């Protein structure tokens, strides 16, 4: 008989706060109606899931994932109005102000490199065969602030298996749209555009790694990385590349934007490690958005049970 032991950070469905109670508590505490959905029915992705963003447009046929946390959610307005997305500006409010008219439909993703099924895929067709899941993840920024965000997306491993990478594929690289007309931040030389990121293949195949298309049960807002972005909850937020247009399977470690721009400050791995300080500040504590006090930063952002084995024997001060 197989007995499944849940991880320490997982939330059982019986422990989840009912939607109506959660809403009333949020109204009372914040005076807003931050809506959380996460319908627990169906398993196929509806075609309207990638329509242009409209506040309140729900993602259909989403199932509750086992990978989630019971921590209090960061309010919707903070999640969607306090962002790092330099393509739309370097201030935290710039993406919300500048991304409203960003066109996310139609949207294609190029698959290239060491893979048996390369090509240019409509984002709907790339994700359609796979189950959409609702996951509440801790989200840690290198700047010492953090959030708890209810993402909706598809496990990246499911996509990778369908694309069939070859035995030479040791890494997976991602690229953001380069369109300075729509993304005014790309008119400034803050970074080398387009934005690029990468993972080792075993990191990409970890079941925690998510390609997200929504937040709070709704279609992903442009300022949060619509229509498709990467979520790796044990790494700092800059690894979560947004508005992805290309995925490449490669034998060699790919470049990453922040490592290219400031290699002393940003490594390839970007694992949350409170024992290694950023050159300009400590990472030992973090401030949850909406909270006055700081709290200790957890190793691997609290997901060590599922990911620490990926780095066994590695010097995490050297490979940061």
Structural domains of the chain sorted by starting position, each given as residue range(s) with its CATH number in brackets: 13-311 (3.90.420.10)
Kindly give, in sequence order, each residue whose CB lies less than 8 Å from that of residue 82, ignoring residues fewer than 6 positions away.
Answer: 92, 93, 289
pLDDT, position 101: 92
Q: How far is CA 312 from CA 157, 246, 304, in A?
A: 21, 30, 11
Q: What are phi and psi of 2, to 5 degrees?
A: -90, 120
Contact between 134 and 231 (Cβ < 8 Å): no
Concatenating the DSSP letter of every residue in 38-72 gives: ------S--GGGGSSP-TT-BPSSEEE-SS---SP
pLDDT, position 219: 95
pLDDT, position 53: 55
b or e along 162-186 (b: 16 or more beta carbons within 10 Å of the residue's beta carbon)? ebebeeebebbbbbbbeeeebbebb
Based on its alpha-carbon atoms, the radius of gyration of the chain, rounded to whole angstroms, reads 19
Mean pLDDT by 10 residues, the chain (320 residues): 45 40 37 32 35 70 92 96 97 97 96 98 94 96 96 98 98 98 97 98 98 96 97 98 98 98 97 95 96 96 98 96
Closest CA to 114 of 251, 259, 207: 251
Instruction: Supply the pTM of this predicted model.
Output: 0.84
Q: What residues does 63 pair with on adjacent strands?
A: 133
The pLDDT tens digits for 179-214 are 999 999 999 999 999 999 999 999 999 999 999 999
């Amino acid at each position: 008989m197989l007995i499944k032991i849940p991880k320490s950070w997982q939330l059982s469905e019986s422990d989840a706060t009912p939607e109506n109670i959660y809403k009333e508590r949020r109204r009372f505490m914040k005076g807003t109606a931050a809506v959380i959905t996460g319908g627990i029915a169906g398993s196929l992705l509806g075609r309207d899931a990638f329509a242009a963003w409209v506040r309140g447009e729900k993602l259909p046929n989403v199932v509750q994932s086992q990978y989630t946390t019971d921590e209090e959610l960061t309010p919707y307005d903070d999640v969607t109005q306090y962002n790092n997305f330099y393509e739309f500006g370097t201030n935290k409010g710039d993406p919300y102000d500048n991304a409203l008219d960003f066109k996310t439909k139609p949207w294609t993703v190029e698959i290239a490199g060491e893979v048996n099924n390369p090509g240019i895929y409509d984002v709907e067709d790339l994700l359609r065969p796979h189950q959409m899941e609702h996951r509440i993840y801790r989200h840690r920024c290198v700047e010492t602030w953090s959030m708890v965000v209810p993402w909706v997306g598809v496990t990246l491993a499911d996509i990778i298996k369908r694309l069939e990478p070859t035995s030479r594929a040791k890494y997976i690289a991602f690229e953001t749209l380069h369109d300075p007309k729509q993304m005014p931040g790309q008119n400034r030389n803050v970074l080398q555009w387009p934005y690029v990121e990468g993972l080792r293949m075993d990191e990409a195949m970890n079941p925690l790694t998510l390609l997200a298309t929504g937040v709070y049960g709704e279609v992903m807002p442009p300022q949060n990385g619509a229509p498709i972005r990467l979520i790796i909850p044990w790494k700092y937020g800059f690894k979560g590349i947004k508005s992805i247009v290309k995925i490449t399977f490669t034998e060699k470690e790919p470049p990453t934007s922040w490592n290219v721009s400031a290699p002393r400050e940003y490594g390839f791995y970007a694992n949350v490690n409170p024992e290694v300080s950023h050159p300009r500040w400590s990472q030992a504590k973090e401030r949850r958005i909406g909270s006055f006090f700081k709290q200790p930063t957890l190793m691997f952002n609290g997901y060590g049970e599922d990911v620490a084995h990926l780095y066994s024997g590695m010097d995490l001060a050297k490979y940061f």
